[in-house]
Chain A
């Protein structure tokens, strides 16, 4: 690996270094800049409702966007080391339990798009990855992702983000393990296994990429992902800002507070058929939390929305018989339900 192989690659590395330095400088002084903008430039009074809302927005919006760009860039580079083929190679022939843990972890860093769920499923099971282990991957990949974590971290702090990460992994591991125990192989469409020569394809070697290629992959990820989600992020923060300045707290407490026992199942029931990415659900999460809904209920809702969806069920129907899809959704929804209750109980 030669970092200064071509002029264009050394320029790219300088750009990355400068970008990171500028990022850090701006990030550190964001709160002063926000305060100055709100009070000196916009002339809003300290302590007023509008002033509080505006200051919240001009601080939070750039902060979360900056975090998002940095993390998506970093994850974009990390993902160049984990192709689906390599992940399959790492998982093939693993026994359950260890395999479930590994699959859930790899699910967070392997590039995955729900439109590839079926080829990936077939590629895994025909290469000898146990069914339950495959499910652990399929649960963790969409649910535990960098966008969700950054947004939770940026808006609600590292505790909420950490809890989401930990609980998402636990659900993926346990639900995958349970599904594996249930011996559901007969409910996989039989043509999947007829395709059985798949194991020969790809030995887990990743294509040789230069660092320049990896950086470019990071930039592409930022352009694609941030380009798609920025509007929801701003919307979410705007909702948060509105609540911050105006809406009385505990507005939602009676409906979705922790005393309402039925709020968790209701959140999961509403969330499962809904389909949205992590970013677009954040405004809703922000609104619910800000108005006094319980954290467990809201996280359960978020997990149900981005982890399970009707379109996913329809895609998976091509390889799974209805009974297996229903069991899959049932087990995962059950896990989310427990997590929601646990949260509301503990916090």
Chain B
């Protein structure tokens, strides 16, 4: 099962990324686990420099912007 994590302290873009990633994952159809990481220390442990960031199975796939749903599908799938 894929593990999808959204890193972000709760800004508008972070909410948007969470929504896009969730929709993309649903469209892919496979079961997945979804988590929003808002704790700063935890976010920093992924070594990102801009938020929001999309993490799939522990790997940072995208940081600092909101992708399109198609792009998110590719990143997750």
Contact = CB atoms under 8 A, between A and B. Distances in A.
Interface of A: 83-85, 88, 111, 113, 115-116, 118-120, 122-124, 191, 195, 197-198, 200-202, 315, 318
Interface string B52-67: 0000000000001100
Contact of B9 (A118, A123, A191, A200): A118
Interface in B36-73: 40-41, 43-45, 47-51, 64-65
Given A111-B64, A113-B11, A119 B50 contact: yes
Contacts of A111: 50, 64-65
A85 B64 CA distance: 11
Contacts of B40: 118-119, 318
Given A120-B49, A195-B44, A201-B47, A115 B64 contact: no
What is the predominant secondary structure among interface residues of chain A facing chain B?
helix
Chain B, interface residues (CB within 8 Å), range:
10 to 19
B14 interface: yes
B48 to A, nearest CB: 6
A318 B14 CA distance: 18
A198 B13 contact: no
Contacts of A124: 49
Contact of B49 (A88, A195, A315): A88
A310 to B, nearest CB: 16
Contacts of B49: 84-85, 88, 116, 119-120, 123-124, 202
A313 to B, nearest CB: 15
B44 A122 contact: yes
Contacts of A83: 64
What is the predominant secondary structure among interface residues of chain B facing chain A?
loop
20 contacts: A83-B64, A84-B49, A111-B50, A111-B64, A111-B65, A113-B11, A113-B13, A115-B51, A116-B49, A116-B51, A119-B40, A119-B43, A119-B44, A119-B49, A119-B51, A120-B50, A195-B44, A195-B45, A200-B47, A202-B47
A153 B68 CA distance: 33
Contacts of A118: 9, 40
Contact of A84 (B8, B13, B41, B50): B50
A116 B64 CA distance: 8
B45 to A, nearest CB: 8
A169 B44 CA distance: 29
A209 to B, nearest CB: 12
A115 B51 CA distance: 7
Contact of A198 (B14, B41, B47, B65): B47
A247 to B, nearest CB: 36
A195 B51 CA distance: 17
A83 B65 CA distance: 11
Nearest to B45: A195
A116 B50 contact: yes
A120 B47 CA distance: 10
Interface string B16-27: 000000000000
A200 to B, nearest CB: 8
Contacts of B8: 115
A266 B51 CA distance: 35
Given A111-B50, A116-B64, 4 more contacts: A83-B64, A115-B51, A116-B49, A116-B51
A340 to B, nearest CB: 31
Contacts of B44: 119, 122, 195, 198
Nearest to B53: A119
Contacts of B51: 115-116, 119
Contacts of B47: 123, 197-198, 200-202
